[in-house]
Amino acid sequence: MNAEIIAVGSELLTPQRLDTNSLFLTEHLNNLGIEVVCKMVVGDDRSRLAEAVRGALARSEIILLTGGLGPTEDDVTREAVAAALGRSLVFRADLLEWIEERFRRAGRRMAEINRRQAYIIEGAEAWRNDNGTAPGLWVEHDGRVVILLPGPPAELQPMFLRECLPKLERWAPRQVIRTRVYRVAGMPESDLDQLIAPVYRKYANPITTILAAPGDIQIHLRARCATAEEAERLLDELGGQIEVLLGDKIYSRNGESLEVVVGARLRAAGATLSVAESCTAGLLAARITEVPGSSDYFLGGFLVYSADLKVRLLGVPRALLDEHGVVSEPVAQAMAAGARERTQSTYALAVTGVAGPSGGTDAAPVGTVCIGLADSTGADARRFRFPGDRARVRTVAVQTALDWLRRRLG
Amino acid sequence: MNAEIIAVGSELLTPQRLDTNSLFLTEHLNNLGIEVVCKMVVGDDRSRLAEAVRGALARSEIILLTGGLGPTEDDVTREAVAAALGRSLVFRADLLEWIEERFRRAGRRMAEINRRQAYIIEGAEAWRNDNGTAPGLWVEHDGRVVILLPGPPAELQPMFLRECLPKLERWAPRQVIRTRVYRVAGMPESDLDQLIAPVYRKYANPITTILAAPGDIQIHLRARCATAEEAERLLDELGGQIEVLLGDKIYSRNGESLEVVVGARLRAAGATLSVAESCTAGLLAARITEVPGSSDYFLGGFLVYSADLKVRLLGVPRALLDEHGVVSEPVAQAMAAGARERTQSTYALAVTGVAGPSGGTDAAPVGTVCIGLADSTGADARRFRFPGDRARVRTVAVQTALDWLRRRLG
């Protein structure tokens, strides 16, 4: 069963505003096994909105409209939906009484324009609003249902939960949706897709979606079944094959971020971490400490943006800088070893590179990053070349450093 | 002239994700006098998307689609638009060569599936992508235009600004719009609005929009006139009154970020900067070094997340920690002085605080942040209490530290 959500309001078409009610509604619809296949934002325009409702009715069983139920002239949702369904608006004396009563209780007199809110679409069920004057409406039509909800979240949410959700549960055939989110580091999107597409393409259910951010890919599996057990079985079946193909490139099976995964492993091992950052200049430490409680395993470290501070704060031999250059594996190695020694941490990560746009050399062109990792057995370093602009190079460098530590932690 | 924006991607129909590209696009379209009358989100479904494009073409002159241009099977935008326009997809050898070249430069081999991105809609103009492999497309059709842009903002935004915007400016009827962006630090949005609203409300043109981020407010003025001179005159007239009211709380008159403003002043003064970060753990340094060329004035510094490292790396006296607590003005002062001395920088900023959600004490509840600033005349510290969650407290702490340095730099 499919649903569409139409948010009504010209203010939602400005550069400053987004419709967020649809997130709340989608979550609850998905839990009933109802898929949201289209979302729209339409301004306060009666004929445009009526056309949008007609289009949605031609495609989907459930249409939810949010907003445009106020008392003013530019609140057009009631009229537009009535027009789309070819029904009239009818006056409900009991609703007017209830609206007047609300005003009375608030010690105010109802303005004449609020009468408009007592008109409902012919044949609709009307819901009272605990936190406002706009009633919500439920209109069944040719085996479909059109639902009108007030726009303010404080009015929409309680009304949806109290009135709409139980009615939808009875109305829609029950289905269950279960999802699984894998996260993968250190692999370009196209390589990953080439590897796993032959597997996931065999399944129309679960649906597979791949989302790529710099250095970080999410694989979303979504199974839609009659029972939770069946959905989980399908996720295990497809997920199992993906896990075999990607192996330890998968760092999370539940959508957790890399800094959360690394943090949990450090904590479990009773280990601590320090950093020495040059081109990332704090970005690595800031990522690690996004996690509440990271002070349990993160000690601190060194920002050595200038060559001079690499020598003075970390004890990187000046001869090493002169011989290999600031962006080199020996320097990354020495930075990691220096940070570990000076902070007494179990592990230390070091990053030195050329994020660009300028500063590249023949030996280390823009995008070159060397990462060092030190532990009780010594210090290693690896050299990478990341594509993209300054921000992307720094982000991928952080991701790559964290992922190396994750693998080391096993 | 009307536009519609269609965001493509099943992930944008989940309860977790919103389409934000449309805000960026709307702002620029509005600046050209183009109204956005409908926004849609459609999943990765070829026929549903083709139908959405057909519907939009029947209503509006300009259709922008974002996303669904990747190399995988579930990237359906090219095919859906071709179907809606009744055109075929044609292979462009030069685009394939350019995509292959991108991979080569990154030291990788192109995966076979990326060939799909070299197919364009018959008769379209193709734009190269600086930050990805998906070309953008511009297709004119019966006096309308359909524009296909990649989904990732880092790809979409530069492509839109470089290729699409100038083309739209020529294509749409001309109007002159001039904007000015003030940025303000250290003031809550409601206080700012109360102060300047009596002034800007008198003007229907320029339009004033206030955008608030944690610790950072932008005031956008937009004048729409027959000539550029008239628009600039109106901006000067309203802007001048706002500048008088806000004084040195305004840190930028051209939209530049605080880190750019501070960096320019440090460079102009021939001064250098170092940091000592506890609760922000690298976020301050990462902000400063987002600016290309920041190595001219930023030396580096210390991440002293643990109390122990505050003593060992910065020489903060242990007695000071015991007497005043880790989050205190004397400790922030000692951190700043220690960082300055050890890096030989002109200025040093220090941040120590409780970002939460746990770790608060009676003396320093969650949200308490002490900031230190050292220069040749000594070290000062200030105490703040910032509302909000962990991420917000850290962001506002960074903003506040940078703004203090900006004022010191004069």
pLDDT tens, position by position, A187-196: 988 899 999 9
Is B173 a residue whose pLDDT tops 80?
no
User: Phi, psi (5° rounding) for residue B122?
Assistant: -50, 125
Q: How confident is the model at residue B302 (pLDDT cuts 50, 70, 90)?
A: very high
| 3-state SS assignment for residue B353 | strand
DSSP, residue by residue, B277-330: ESTTTTHHHHHHTTSTTGGGTEEEEEEE-SHHHHHHHH---HHHHHHH-SSSHH
Which residues in chain B have Cβ-Cβ distances shorter than 8 Å to A280?
286
The residue ranking higher by pLDDT, B142 or A109, is: B142
Contact flag B70-A45 (C-beta cutoff 8 Å) = no
Residue A302 has pLDDT above 80, yes or no: yes
Exposure string of B361-399, with b = 16+ CB inside 10 Å and e = fewer, is eeebebbbbbbbbbbeeebbbeebebebebebbbbbbbb
Return mean pLDDT, chain B: 93
**Residue B1: how many CA atoms within 13 Å on its side-chain side?**
19
Q: Do the beta carbons of residue A87 and residue A53 sit within 8 Å?
A: no
From A108-117, A144-153, A195-204, B311-320, the region with the lowest mean pLDDT: A108-117
Is the pLDDT at A286 greater than 70? The verdict is yes
> What pLDDT sits at residue B190?
79
What is the spatial distance between Cα A20 and Cα B179, in angstroms, rounded to a whole number? Answer: 28
Of B183, B340, B334, give the one whose Cα is nearest residue B262.
Answer: B183
Residues 215-274 of A with CB under 8 A from B: 220, 274
Q: Which fold has domain B258-409?
A: Maf protein (3.90.950)
pLDDT one-digit tens code per residue, B88-144: 999 999 999 999 998 888 888 888 899 999 999 999 999 999 888 999 999 999 999
Name the residue type at position A367.
Answer: G
Which H helix or E strand runs over A302?
strand A298-304
Q: For residues B42 and B102, is the Cβ–Cβ distance under 8 A? A: no
A:B CB pairs within 8 Å: 243
Q: At A179, is the pLDDT very low, low, confident or very high (cuts 50, 70, 90)?
A: confident
Interchain pair A40, B43: CB under 8 A: no
Q: Are B237 and B243 in contact (CB under 8 A)?
A: no
Residue A90, beta-bridge partner list: A120
Question: What is the identity of the amino acid at A111?
Answer: A
Q: A176-252: same fold as A2-171?
A: no
Which secondary-structure segment (H or E) carries A16?
none
State how far the alpha carbon of A319 is from the alpha carbons of A307, A324, A366, B263, B332, in Å: 12, 8, 23, 31, 35
pLDDT in tens, B205-251: 898 877 778 899 989 898 888 788 999 999 999 999 999 999 999 99
Q: How far apart are CA A386 and CA A372, in angstroms?
A: 16
Residues above pLDDT 70, as percent of chain A: 100
What is the predicted pLDDT for the residue at B174? Answer: 66
Whole-number pLDDT of residue A264: 98
pLDDT band at B346 (very low <50, low <70, confident <90, very high): very high
In this prediction, residue B410 has a pLDDT band, given cuts at 50, 70 and 90, of confident
C-beta neighbour count of A276 within 10 angstroms: 34
What sign does the dihedral B289-B293-B294-B299 (CA atoms) show?
Answer: positive
| Cβ-nearest to A289 among B38, B275, B281 | B281
Q: Are the Cβ atoms of A191 and B74 closer than 8 angstroms?
A: no
- Report the CATH number of the A2-171 domain: 3.40.980.10
Q: Are B76 and B157 in contact (CB under 8 A)?
A: no
By three-state DSSP, how is residue B44 classified?
coil
Q: To the nearest 10°, the Cα dihedral for B16, B157, B255, B240?
A: -100
pLDDT, residue A87, reads: 97
Which is more confident, B386 or B212?
B386
Beta strands in A71-164 (DSSP E): 89-91, 119-121, 125-127, 136-141, 144-149
- pLDDT above 70 covers what percent of chain B? 99
d(CA B173, CA B33): 9
Give the domain ranges of chain B: 2-171, 176-252, 258-409
pLDDT exceeds cutoff 80 at B176: no
> With contact defined as beta carbons under 8 Å apart, do A312 and B345 qualify?
no
CA torsion through residues A364, B264, B393, B311, sign: positive
Q: Check if B65 contacts A (Cβ < 8 Å).
A: no
- Closest approach of chain B CAs to the CA of A323, in angstroms? 21
Which one of B38, B47, B49 would you mutate to disrupt binding with A, by most A Cβ within 10 Å of its Cβ?
B38
Average pLDDT of A310-335? 97
The residue with tokens 């960026």 is B24
* Chain B residues inside the 8 Å CB shell of A302: 300-303, 313
Asked if ipTM goes beyond 0.95, one says no
Burial class (CB in 10 A: 0-12, 13-18, 19+), B106: middle
Residue A7 CB burial class (10 angstroms; 0-12, 13-18, ≥19)? buried
Is the per-residue pLDDT at B296 higher than 70? yes
B315 pLDDT more than 80: yes
Residues 122-141 of A with CB under 8 A from B: none
> Checking DSSP bridges between strand B176-185 and strand B250-252, what pairing results, if any?
antiparallel
CA A80 → CA A61, B41, B214, distances in Å? 18, 21, 39
Query: Over chain A, what is the mean pLDDT?
Result: 94
What residues in A contact B106, CB-CB < 8 Å? 367, 385-387
Closest by Cβ to A190, choosing from B74, B111, B275: B111
Q: A100-104, A378-382, B370-374: which has the minimum mean pLDDT?
A: A100-104
CATH fit for domain B176-252, picks 3.30.70.2860, 1.10.240.10, 3.30.830.10, 3.60.10.10: 3.30.70.2860
pTM value is: 0.74
Lowest model confidence (mean pLDDT) among A38-52, A172-186, A284-298, B335-349:
A172-186
Q: What does the pLDDT read at residue A1?
A: 87
Residues of B in contact with A55 (CB under 8 A): 55
Q: Residues of A numbered 37-56 whose beta carbons fall under 8 angstroms of chain B's beta carbons: which are they?
A: 37-43, 45, 48, 51-52, 55
Chain A residues closer than 8 Å to B302 by CB = 300-303, 313
Which uninterrupted H or E stretch holds A68? Answer: none
